[in-house]
Amino acid sequence: MSNDGDVSGYHSIPGPNSKYGGDIWVFKTDKSGNLLWQRCLGGTYDDFARNIFPTTDDGFMIVGKTGSNDGDVSGNNNYGTGYGIYDVWFAKIDSVGNLLWQYCYGGRDDEMIYRGVIQKSDWDYILAIGTTTYNWRCYSDGNPWPDVRIAELYDSTVGVKETHPEIEALVRVYPNPAKETIKLKFTNKGLLSNALISIFDINGKLLLTTKPKSLITTINTDKLKSGLYFMKIRSKYGIVTKKIIIR
């Protein structure tokens, strides 16, 4: 519950007697113990990390639970139903701690997770969850103790194929990660005929469409929040889908 010294970005009121709760604190040090970067993840209320897994894009998946529905957290399925009521929380960060996306999993009552998470692959996880959600339980006889729910969660957004090998060289997208602008470089003018560029968020919402006007086309991305997006480039050769990160 600190917000001084090595810690910054805490989402609630710091101090040992805070009535709200703690954030998840993730940090990296070098071999000598010097702090390289740090990040507080969470919202106003209690947020706990139970597992952290490396991913092949040099980032990390953090799995824990959250009682918040603000700050970094959105989509809590039981927020406001009572103190100490949690969802399971997934938080994907990049190699320097920036939050790329997050996801709450749970029902209308309390979900808890201890060490029951297995990483099957980069984006495929098996979880053993304690649940008191009524319609998830095996028995609904008023027993206050949780039942165990086994779930497999797969992040379909990162499972999207980016390019087919036969058309991979037709267009290059850079820089990636990007900030205020991103560029597309096409291999020949024939690709520009009836081509369309679209950018979607991780929920599939269309945010931007434009047509390329030259072999090197610049797209303004300064209005996009930091996170993961998908760019689809349609041409007469087919559709290329690229994952892009905005910082």
What is the tally of structural domains in the chain? Answer: 2
Q: pTM of the entire structure?
A: 0.65
Same domain, 130 and 207: no
What residues make up the domain containing 172? 165-246
Q: Residue 218 has what pLDDT?
A: 95
The answer to whether residue 227 sits within a structural domain is yes
Instruction: Look at residues 107, 124, 154 and tell me which one is the last residue of a structural domain.
Output: 154
Write the CATH number for 184.
Answer: 2.60.40.3080
Q: Give φ, ψ of 85 to 5 degrees.
A: -105, 125
Q: Are 50 and 65 in contact (CB under 8 A)?
A: yes
- 86: in domain: yes
Alpha carbon separation from 55 to 3, 75, 94 (Å, rounded): 28, 24, 9
Cα torsion angle, 59, 65, 71, 76, sign: positive
List phi, psi (to 5°) of 90: -105, 130
6 found inside a domain: no
Q: State whether 146 and 175 are in the same domain.
A: no
Can you give the pLDDT at residue 161? 47
Q: Let me know whether 96 and 171 are in one domain.
A: no
> What are the pLDDT tens digits along the chain (247 aa)?
888 899 999 988 887 767 778 899 999 999 999 999 999 999 988 999 999 999 877 789 999 999 999 998 988 887 665 556 899 999 988 888 888 888 888 888 888 887 789 888 777 889 998 888 877 777 666 666 788 888 888 765 544 444 455 566 778 899 988 989 999 998 888 778 788 899 988 767 889 999 998 999 999 999 998 888 888 888 877 778 788 888 8
Q: Coil, strand or helix: which one is 130?
A: strand
Q: Are residues 96 and 51 in the same domain?
A: yes
pLDDT for the residue 174: 92
147 and 94 in one domain? yes
pLDDT of residue 120: 85
Distance in Å from the first CA to the final CA of the chain? 27
> Is 9 inside a domain boundary?
no
- Cis preceding-peptide flag for 175 (omega within 30 of 0): yes
Name 223's Cβ contacts closer than 8 Å, sequence gap at least 6.
none
What beta strand segments (E) does the chain contain? 24-29, 35-41, 47-54, 60-66, 87-93, 99-105, 111-112, 117-121, 124-131, 147-154, 171-174, 181-186, 196-200, 206-210, 216-220, 227-235, 238-246
